[in-house]
Amino acid sequence: MRMLQLVGNTLTCADSGQSVKLACKHSPVFLRLLFSYTRDDKVLSANRLSSAIQKKQATFTLHRNQVLRMLNDIGKAFSALAIKVTVCPEKSHRSTGPWFLSGAEEVVLSSHESVAVPNTQSCYFNWGEDWQSIPHRLYEFISIILNADILAHAGYVREVPEHLSGCESYPMKPCLRGFISLHRAKFLAKQGDFTSAKTLAISVAAEAEQSGDRQLISSAYFLLAYLDYVKAPALNYSALLTTMAKPQPFHHADEQTLMYWHNLRALLLRRKALANPDEALVCHQQALYHFEACLFAAIKMNNTICTVDFMVNLALHLQELLPLHLTKIEDVYHWYYLAINYIDKLGIGAYSVWDRIFFTEFYLKYTDEILASPIMRPVLETDLSPQNSTFYEDTLAKINHSGDARQKVIFLFLYLRFARRQGRKELVNTLVLHTQKELNKQAQHFADGLYAEGYGEDIDSLVTEKSK
């Protein structure tokens, strides 16, 4: 990530300390707007650029040649600082816009005329200064959306629009508010209320047009066309073939690649935080920003597998940072539980139980702290809690279905740890024999690999238990 600082008309690269002066009077305004709009996945229109400049110079009128001079000025500055970013569009509509930044590297412009810092501000919420509450508040919000899917899956479609209204109490930015409204509109249509669904979609489209949110504009107009088709396919198909507009192209990589990029970025920042404790806070805040982005991307694409994977990654991130006192045990548990509950209710993820393995390892490591927390009591009493034997038996049944030997042996180790803590001698003896049998089925390199992953004590304990 490259960090830039803009003071007056001087643009400085924080990494190298190199500076360059922007020659055109209004280039700094243009540049700040470009970074701001691009960060929020929006495009900058000529009207908005003109309005922003007029706040500084009331008599200003934007002309084609002025735009081209500013674009050339900004382009030269990027080139001088070796910043691999361009202002698009590069050819057609170059002088009229709308404009956005595109490039081969992530570049951040400081929002203050001081030290440039990486972006940690949410694209979806106005969280305020209390960053420590973000994991829990995000968990609550995502829970509302996922529970809406669970209700629909169980056949309670009519309950969903009212359930989603619970999102309104959170400080959503317009882009997320629009997405939630469109989500509600889809469920209103499923229950036959096409009038309310279209009214909601039209309202979202109008607000998106005002803000310049191209993604939301495309989503709203597509939904309107889709609603017309679903309501009366035979009557409306001919008109829709003519009137249904193709979604506008976005300025970044395809949505799926961008989703995975945010997830990987968050994983890398966790590693950096652990390797550099002095930078852990900023890395943690940045990672939350990227986790939020990949989660909403997965939800928008109805990609349930990725949604679950990213929730587990977020839980693991929060877990790993516990020793640095940047996160809370309750938040870790809630995120793991949310992922596993979602999988269980929708009947997905039949071929992997890594989420349950990570959850169980966390629970066994922090059992005393978890049991001491009054916040945990409601979720500890369910069958999806590693506190209960049912959880282990259910997980083993899932593994037997998938046939993954590595997952099975590792989970048997964890089940053994649980049984020993519970003092259940008969269960321990049964699990020891079962685990040893599974290990004997595998080649020696299988056990060597488990030793290398840190399960050596678990393997050695099998011999100890048998000799008692």
Please give the mean pLDDT across all residues of the chain.
86
- Ramachandran bin of 361, using left for φ above 0, alpha for ψ from -120 to 50, beta for the remaining angles: alpha
pLDDT, position 114: 36
pLDDT, position 334: 95
pLDDT, position 140: 95
Residue type, 457: E
Distance CA 86, CA 74 (A): 9
113 contacts 7 by C-beta, under 8 angstroms: yes
pLDDT, position 112: 45
- Range 2-6 average pLDDT: 77
pLDDT, position 109: 75
Whole-angstrom Cα Rg for the chain: 27
2 contacts 107 by C-beta, under 8 angstroms: yes
| pLDDT band per the 50, 70, 90 thresholds, residue 110 | low
| Residue from 268, 363, 358 nearest 309 by CA | 358
Distance CA 129, CA 111 (A): 15
Q: Please, which residues have CB within 8 angstroms of residue 174's CB and are 6 or more apart in sequence?
A: 207, 208, 211, 213, 216
pLDDT at 163 over 70: yes
CATH 1.10.10 domain locations along the chain:
2-109
HSE of 264, CA atoms in CB hemisphere, 13 A: 6
How many CB atoms within 10 Å of residue 300?
Answer: 15
pLDDT digit string (tens) for 186-244? 999 998 899 999 999 999 999 988 887 878 888 898 999 989 888 888 888 888 887 77
- Please give the class, per CATH, of domain 2-109: mainly alpha
Write the DSSP symbol of residue 451: I
pLDDT at 117 over 60: no
Distance CA 3, CA 70 (A): 21
| pLDDT > 70 fraction of the chain, expressed in percent and rounded | 92
- 327, burial (CB in 10 Å: exposed 0-12, middle 13-18, buried 19+): buried
| pLDDT band per the 50, 70, 90 thresholds, residue 57 | confident
pLDDT, position 26: 86
Q: Which stretch of DSSP H or E encloses residue 3? A: strand 2-7
